[in-house]
Structure 1
Amino acid sequence: MPKNTKSDPFFSFANLDNDEIQLATGALLIAQSEYPEINIEDYLRQLDEMADVVRERIQGATLPEQHISELNRYLFEEKSFTGNIDNYYALGNNFLNVVLKKKTGIPITLGVVYIEVGRRAGLPLVGVNFPSHFLVKYQREHLDILLDVFENGMFMDEDRLRAKLQANFGEDIPLERSMLAETTDKEILARILRNLTRAYTLLEQYDKALTTAERITWLLPEAAGDYRTLGYLYYKNHAYSESITAFETYLQLAGETPDTAAVEQNIQQLQKLLSRLN
């Protein structure tokens, strides 16, 4: 059933302005749903301590390549963070506390570690929602350096980006500039939550999937497609009125789409179901 939003600390967090959002705090709040015993401050302190080391090492270095090299050396060689190739789809890869403990994860959670350590050390790092593979960007005026933290901070030129698209989709998809745009921290957190929504749905843990789906709409209330998912998950949790509302919100935000008729039919069927129940 739908949660009382006021009782979920993520609700007030999600309603902060973008410039007030702390990426690591949000990722740990997400993890706290699965691991309620974790102390968020302990993990934030761990990120601070790693950043202290990096900050000291880049003192006096002026070139971006030097900054990136030191951060890569520290995280991937000394601290041994690595991509979880062998168990890529393990649920724990989506939780920052697990990634910090096991030092392995998927592109987006390794990206959160990389961004948060780098930012704390004073480096201009942002996320990039590249299709099917999260990237990190070192971004200064007139300078963008794209990095694949799943590959130990490898520099991503256009050839590597095209190869990544080919590997992910198995067809010749053109590389577009929009794929390389900076993403907000809210969008990064929403991408983690979408991963979890899919994972919980596949596990038929629909109550947990509903929680993650609701949180996406708190972060990004104008993202149409997430309301369609939310409508389905309300239905699976027998919250039929809320399901109708979510589907209606999807139609309002999305406008005319190829699935408009199907969603309208879902709404009609739910209305009939509610009338029988009442």
Structure 2
Amino acid sequence: MSNWSDASWGEFVRSKEFTLDRAVFLIAKSLQYPSLDIDEQLRILDSMGEELKRSIGSKKPTEIIASINEYLFEKHGFRGNEQDYYDPRNSYLNDVIARRTGIPITLSVLYMELARRIGFELHGVGFPGHFLVKHLYHDFAIVIDPFNKGKILSQEDFQHLLDKLYSGQVRFEQRFLDSVTKKQILIRMLRNLKDTYMHSYDYNKALTAIDMTVSIDPNLAEEFRDRGLVLYQKKFYGDALSNLTKYLEMQPDAVDADNIYQMIMDIQSFFRHDMYG
């Protein structure tokens, strides 16, 4: 990680200084943009928040949401990037601000951070396959889709979205609208980046994303598996072995346990052959 050890990143996300906006810019700095001026990026967000605040003329939640939507999607032209969804730039907030396009989670973080700057509280929603945000108004949740120009979603929309994502194989459950913590948002962003970089065979960046995720939550067994797989591809067989072994210790009944066990046996066989061959 550029300028950050795994330990110092982990200390930051557990510290009183932790904020979501600074953390997402730190992800960009660590993985892709080592010279990124985080304070300058925060000033850009602050400036956007001040500009947005001047356009707010009502305290009604739906009208505030309409003002945010007008500011982001009409005035400044932000949009969901459906043409090149898996471009890693969609996952870096500095790129999203500069290019005016992103994926659901980064557009949601931008939406949340601008709302926070005008005193309008929003929560992240870890909806399957498509991140959302919500505002709690008395006992009612107003659920918003920043990827689709801030549309307020109905119950019918939730199932329609699942059908689009999972071809009718997943039925909507109310728990899909549960709030997620800021750390869970970071983990979801880092996992998106991990998947992107693993698929493009950029194992160094994939490994950094995994290390940052484990620093937030060391109980995520799948990250040890994926770290083992990446280390195996990088031919660091000893480290791969320890991570894959830890994965099976944490998840002995995992659906891929047999495959991982076979990989462990292959590595051990390689070591024996190397030692005695």
TM-score by length of 1: 0.90
Following superposition, the deviation at residue 18 of structure 1 comes to 8.1
Over the matched positions of the two proteins, sequence identity in percent amounts to: 32
In the aligned structure 2, how far is the partner of 1:124 from the partner of 1:277? 59
Retained in 1: the 8 A contact 2:9–2:215?
no
- Post-superposition CA distance 1:161-195 (Å, at most 9, x none): 10000001112421012211111111111212112
Deviations 1:78-123 (CA, angstroms, capped at 9, x unpaired): 1211111222222211111111101111111111111111112211
Q: Which has the higher contact order (CA 8 A, sep 6+)?
A: 1
Q: Within 5 A, what are the aligned runs for 1:125-136? A: 125-136=122-133
* Cα distance between partner residues in 2 of 1:139 and 1:17: 26
Gaps of 5+ in 1: none
TM alignment of 1:118-197, pairs within 5 A: 118-197=115-194
Counterpart residue identity of residue 185, structure 1:
K
Change (3 A) 1:25 1:82: same
Please state how far the C-alpha of 1:274 moved relative to its aligned partner: 3.2
2:244 aligns with one of 238, 241, 247: 247
Name the aligned partner's letter for residue 180 of structure 2: T
Tell whether the 8 Å contact from 2:108 to 2:132 is kept in structure 1 after alignment.
yes
Structure 2 stretches lacking a partner, 5+ long = none
Matched-pair contact (CA < 8 Å) for 1:72–1:152:
yes
Partner of 1:50: 48
Give the match's secondary structure for 2:143: strand
The number of equivalent residue pairs is 273
What is the distance in 2 between the residues matched to 1:119 and 1:94? 20
* Aligned equivalent of 1:28, options 25, 28, 37: 25
Residue 14 in structure 1 maps to residue 10 in structure 2: yes
Residue 36 (structure 2) aligns with: 38
1:206 to 2:203 alignment: yes
Amino acid at match of 2:43: R
Q: Residue 100 of structure 1 aligns with which residue?
A: 97
Show the counterpart of 1:235.
Answer: 232
**Alignment-mate amino acid for residue 135 of structure 2:** Y
Structure-1 separation of matches of 2:249 and 2:95: 38
Question: Cα gap change, 1:209/1:166 in structure 2, threshold over 3 Å: closer, same or farther?
Answer: same
- Separation (CA, whole Å) in 2 of partners of 1:30 and 1:17: 15
SS in 2 for 1:38: coil
Pick from 79, 84, 88 the counterpart of residue 76 of structure 2. 79
Does the 8 A contact of 1:206 with 1:237 survive in 2?
yes
TM-score (norm 2): 0.90
